[in-house]
Structure 1
Amino acid sequence: MTTEHAPAPAPAPAPAPAPAAALARRFADRLADLGLSEAQAAARAGMSTPYLRRVLELGPGFDPPALLRLSAVLGLEYEELVSGRPAERAAAARADGPALVGPPVLGELGVAECWRRLGSNGLGRIARTGPEGPVVRPVGYLVHEHTVLYRTAEDGALAPGPGGDAAFEVDRADRDLREGWSVLMVGPLEYVTEPALLAELPAPPARGRWVRLTPTTVTGRTIRAARPH
């Protein structure tokens, strides 16, 4: 007599690493490729080694400007450091669901969702009209009580002054996943002058000041490829 055994169930796939863990792994792999030490990378990015470790521990949402500096030190694109190489991102998309196909689908974001996508800090762009015409510059920003704060030179192109309202824009796009979003805010600029708030903010560079944009309009859009039915 023979006894038949049911085949053993296939092992469950290993869970994908958390964003912070994957970021730290990519950082360590790149350091090894370049022959750099952690301390050398931190110094070249203008931060201490303990702070670098904190950036890696807390993940992509903690201090995007710091990660931007690290990506430059490592010779990587920002998205490559944060989200992996294109093939890695595409594989993650395939694991999450069916492939994206068809023409793009546009959508709108509500005001609350626009603020949620901005988070508490990140990288964006300020656009305004100056004495010499339109100016668009990247900025690191902080969100404070539904306003946007950024630092600039007191006599710079992004400082408050003649030219009317400014526009602030943040977008994210992934060509491999074929999806993205953008948020646009328009409003007046003014210097931050409240002593209590200034005491909480990082000190601006020499001749720099904190500027506040108070949006009067907030709009957002999404775009993605259509999924198969």
Structure 2
Amino acid sequence: MMHTADGHHRSDLGRRVATRRRQLGLSREEVAVRSGSSPGYIAYVEERLPAPGIEFLVRLANALETTVQDLTGLTAELAPGEGPAGSRPRLEAVDEKECWALLGDHGVGRVAVEAADGLEVFPVNYRVLDGKVLFVTTSTSALGLAAAAGAEIAFEEDHLDEAFRQGWSVLLVGPVHTVSEPIESQILRDAAHSQSWAGDGRDTAVLLLPHRVTGRRILVPGAPGTADGSDGQET
């Protein structure tokens, strides 16, 4: 029986395979069928330090709807979206309800803030709370200063499916304010779900109250997310 290895025993390849499999909602058995392998070997790839041959890597990448380069980390430090556009892509608007669903309850997005030296755009951890977006920052950051002044900002989150050249983006625009009441601020900071990726020392709770929520999606006929594999046009 194969036991789950400790995190430091797993390879980068194994972590990428496991993450991609979970993103697609697939079991090891399903990946095994897709790749012509066995569930035990998929578990071995995810949990140990394998060195599979290129033929299996190609089959595994196809099974996981990605590329060998992505699985092996060759594109890890590259900017996303370098591949060519998909075949006959179409751009669709995303309604407000789906925008909130795409944001989920937390993640990492980007804010655009008018700072002293001009416009600044930077990544932030966020948490969605009842139609508002919570950020935890420092009082002296560009976002903290904007919130103290009640300024308007833009917040954006997106997702790219490199394998199929499709994706979505959500944009929220509205004023931000600092939560100054100590008990409420602590409650909100405790609700932030996870610590900031940038580290400790962030103790200022900032709320975005969006008055504009918009989104758009790029779909490629025949790719996951399309209803019937066609765009409704004659080929």
TM-score normalised to structure 2 length: 0.55
* Equivalent position to 2:120, from 122, 135, 154: 135
**Once the two structures are superposed, what CA deviation does each residue of 1:93-114 show, in whole Å capped at 9, x if it has no partner?**
49xxxxx952211111110110
More off after superposition, 200-209 vs 107-116: 200-209
CA distance in 2, matches of 1:213, 1:191: 9
Show the counterpart of 2:201: 206
Q: Is the 8 A contact 2:169 2:217 kept in 1?
A: yes
Amino acid of the structure 1 residue aligned with 2:186: L
Alpha-carbon deviation of 1:157? 1.1
Show the counterpart of 1:18: none
Amino acid of the structure 1 residue aligned with 2:221: A
Amino acid of the structure 2 residue aligned with 1:31: H
**Once the two structures are superposed, what CA deviation does each residue of 1:122-171 show, in whole Å capped at 9, x if it has no partner?**
11111111110011111110011100001111011111145941000000
Alpha-carbon deviation of 1:192? 1.9
Q: Is the 8 A contact 1:125 1:136 kept in 2?
A: yes
CA distance in 1, matches of 2:61, 2:214: 28
Q: Is the 8 A contact 1:103 1:226 kept in 2?
A: yes
* Equivalent position to 1:115, from 79, 92, 100: 100
* Equivalent position to 2:63, from 91, 103, 117: 91
Where do 5+ consecutive residues of structure 1 fail to align?
1-24, 35-55, 61-84, 95-99
3-state SS in 2 of match to 1:176: coil
Q: Is the 8 A contact 2:150 2:177 kept in 1?
A: no
Show the counterpart of 1:222: 217
Alpha-carbon deviation of 1:118? 0.7
RMSD over aligned Cα atoms:
3.5
Alpha-carbon deviation of 1:201? 2.9
Show the counterpart of 2:225: none
1:184 aligns with 2:171: yes
**How does 1:1-229 map onto structure 2 within 5 Å?**
31-33=9-11, 88=60, 90-93=62-65, 102-159=87-144, 160-162=147-149, 164-194=151-181, 195-196=183-184, 198-199=186-187, 201-202=189-190, 205-206=200-201, 208-227=203-222, 229=230
3-state SS in 1 of match to 2:64: helix
Q: Is the 8 A contact 1:182 1:220 kept in 2?
A: yes
Identity of counterpart residues, as a percentage? 33
Alpha-carbon deviation of 1:33? 3.7
Q: Is the 8 A contact 1:181 1:222 kept in 2?
A: yes
